[in-house]
Amino acid sequence: MSENTSNYLNSLNESQREAVEIISGATLVLAGAGSGKTRVLTYKLLHLLIKKILKPSQILAVTFTNKAASEMKSRVSKMLNFPIDRMWLGTFHSLSLKILRQHYEKVGLKQNFIIIDTDDQIKLIKKICDQENIDSKDISPKFFASAIDSLKNKGIFFNELKVNKYRNNDEELRKVYKMYQKELVRINCVDFGDLILLCIKLFKDNKEVREYYQNLFNYILVDEYQDINFIQQKWLEYLYQGHKNICCVGDDDQSIYSWRGADVTNLLEFQKNFQSPKIIRLEQNYRSTKNILECASILIDKNKNRYGKKLWSENEEGEKIFINGFWETKEEAIFTTDQIDKLVSNKVQLSEIAILFRVSAHTRSFEERLIAIGLPYRIIGGLRFYERKEIKDVIAYLRLINNISDDLAFERVINIPKRGIGKTTLSKINQIARLNNTSMFEASQNFIGENKTKVNLEINDFINNILKWQKIKKNFDHIELAKVVLEDSNYIQYLENEAKNSKNPENLSRVDNINEFLESLKDFENLEGFLEHVGLVMENMANTDSQTISLMTMHGSKGLEFDYVFLAGWEEGVFPSQRSLDESGTKGLEEERRLAYVALTRARKKIQISYVNQNRYSFASHDFNSPSRFISELPKDAIELNDSKVIMKNDFLNDFIDTENISNEYLTPGRKRILENKKALVDWDFNQDISSERNLNANDRVFHKKFGIGIILNMDTDTANVEFTRHGIRKVYLKFLQFNH
């Protein structure tokens, strides 16, 4: 045994020690953010083993991720100086699998059964739909897969599904669910949802097996208890009935995953589920300043459905939370990244800085600005904006319209949305293209010929659409072109069908990403300029340092902490999410408020919150956002508020645009990097709207941030033909021209 275990209890505060030393009955540890939850879990295991209260094989420890299980096992083994491999430590699913491997025949399985992944699950369901003449265009296999998974999380077998005539697709769902389960048995497979569900069936139907495991485990330890769902709670209740010793660690104020089945009610009703429990609150926070904790505590106290606790700290008072309002997203990105740049110039490590968003789509303007000023970043728990599938799809459409010889773009979108054009067909088209030394687009015209098969008709429609959009491109600006492409291709409908009945925020936010994409097009004069920009952005993204700023959603930030946290997009309708309010009412609002609490408590030293007045997706409309209600719920003496009007007086945009005319002694490090990297400069600033000093006329000398100095040859309502000194004659928007003396 390691020497450092002799006085392990002395390193705990009073509440932590109390939680560790309880070794019988039911205990709920309400662990506030930054209160040392991991320490309590680790030391609880240590205590049970060091005092020889239990053997490792008598302890069941449940975590939510394999990583958490591995880290806990490693930490305890290191402190004890001997392996604890015999301990049942893992996720609900991995532990259930271990049980099923021992008793497979009792649930109708054969030895060496296989766990299928989501792709195989959808393929199997599609096969069933085809057999039953269920049109996958009307009801997608993904819908059935998601619905079946949801039913399994609620403990409902196919024979227990009650059809509601007022609920769409129930009859088809029951039919597919039944056949799907029979097919799984036939091929000796299970899906992820089956692992816990079949365990429940095993315990329910087999007294001998149930009592064996109830007696095997003398103590149950559960992490992240606020995130468990119905079927996981039932699993615990079965195993608890032996010695009735259980300790659950969680925080009702950090329950933010209802979209994946988590039900905070399990935690709130702990006293009903387990006999005479002891409830211990861990309220001392070791992470954040007193001011941050005051804001977080007062905000979350607005929720009614909670146990209640108030975080406190012996840390310093700290700075007030700064709240900044802006007219539009670019200002928000510029100001925020300028603040970050100042931190970096003061030797703050990039890894200690994070920007958190409610909606992943809103990373785009921040990503581009960070690239422009040369600060490396990474997206935590997701993809960079231009790497997201839906964005790459739409860009591929635009690339193909711009250049029909772009085979990579052709191959990407020829079957998106699904047109029944498979790999075999594409291979034949590619072969024709190589033989004739032409593009695949041209080869596809030769491929279809006079043959009027279903596939050929789909290819023909695709070709005609591309040709039509090319004609539109001559008369429409690139924004309108993109809208037409999205409408004619039914791409938005395709995304909505993909997200139907999916609670995964990534799926639900794909349409938001498209809206943000359309918004991004406003920054460019034409399609060619945008595509050039994307190429430069992707190139810059490929070269990042190990030290990076972290960008992530608030959901993705749970469990992480940073010195400096920037919270963007705190507008009503964005945060709290209007979708959450519409779907779940008060319950949804309380979960959104818990999400705000999680976001605030990620910070150790300083927080800045920002909101934007102009509707992010309004384009030319005059819709305006109001600041999030959560801002008004923060204590007034703990915040410093600058509204949009005050912010605008600082004139960030013009200051940034005029970078080249500012003496070097006034430049921030970020702006110096812009001047050193012209490629990055093109990525951001040349298409900013510029207020002209006077009305422009033919023969006026003007300045354009991309093309430089030129003379206006002629004009129409909003564009002008300008002869630039270095770039020749170009047609540009008037709003991007500045009168040059």
What residues are labeled active site? 37-38, 223-224, 254, 602
Cβ atoms within 10 Å of 277's Cβ, excluding its own: 17
Q: β-strands 219-222, 246-250: how paired?
A: parallel
Q: In what order do the strands lie in the sheet with 321-326?
A: 377-379, 549-553, 353-357, 562-568, 603-612, 321-326, 639-642
Spatial CA neighbour of 354 closest among 331, 332, 378: 378
User: Which of 689, 33, 2, 677 lies closest to 370 in space, CA to CA?
Assistant: 677
Map residue 98 onto helix, strand or coil: helix
The CA-atom distances, in angstroms, between 153 and each of 100, 250, 533 are: 17, 20, 45
The residue type of 453 is T
Residue pair 643/325 in contact (Cβ under 8 Å)? The answer is yes
| Euclidean distance between CA atoms 606 and 585, whole angstroms | 32
H/E segment holding residue 563: strand 562-568
Bond preceding residue 417 cis, omega within 30 of 0: yes
C-beta atoms surrounding 586 within 10 Å: 11
The pair of three-digit structure tokens given for residue 115, joined into one six-digit string: 């766990």
**Residues with Cβ < 8 Å from 3, sequence gap 6 or more?**
none
For residue 459, count CB atoms less than 10 angstroms from its CB and return exposed for 0-12, middle for 13-18, buried for 19 or more: buried
Asked whether the CA dihedral 314, 319, 323, 329 is positive or negative, the reply is negative
CB 395 within 8 A of CB 373: no
Residue 236's closest CA among 250, 215, 221, 226? 221
- Residue 614 parent element (H or E): none
- In DSSP notation, 523-562 reads T-SSHHHHHHHHHHHHHHHTS--SS-EEEEEHHHHTT--E
For residue 571, the cross-strand partners are 627
Q: Kind and range of the H or E element at 298?
A: helix 290-300
Sorted by sequence, the CB contacts under 8 Å of residue 658 that are 6+ apart come out as none
At 273 the three-state DSSP class reads helix
The secondary structure of residue 117, as a DSSP letter, is -
∠ at Cα 525 (569, 718), nearest 5°?
Answer: 105
User: Tokens at residue 272, please?
Assistant: 């009903």
Distance separating alpha carbons of residues 614 and 329, to the nearest angstrom: 8
Alpha carbon dihedral 211, 217, 218, 219, in 10-degree steps, equals -130
380/314 Cα distance (integer angstroms) = 30
- Contact present, 297 and 308 (Cβ < 8 Å): no
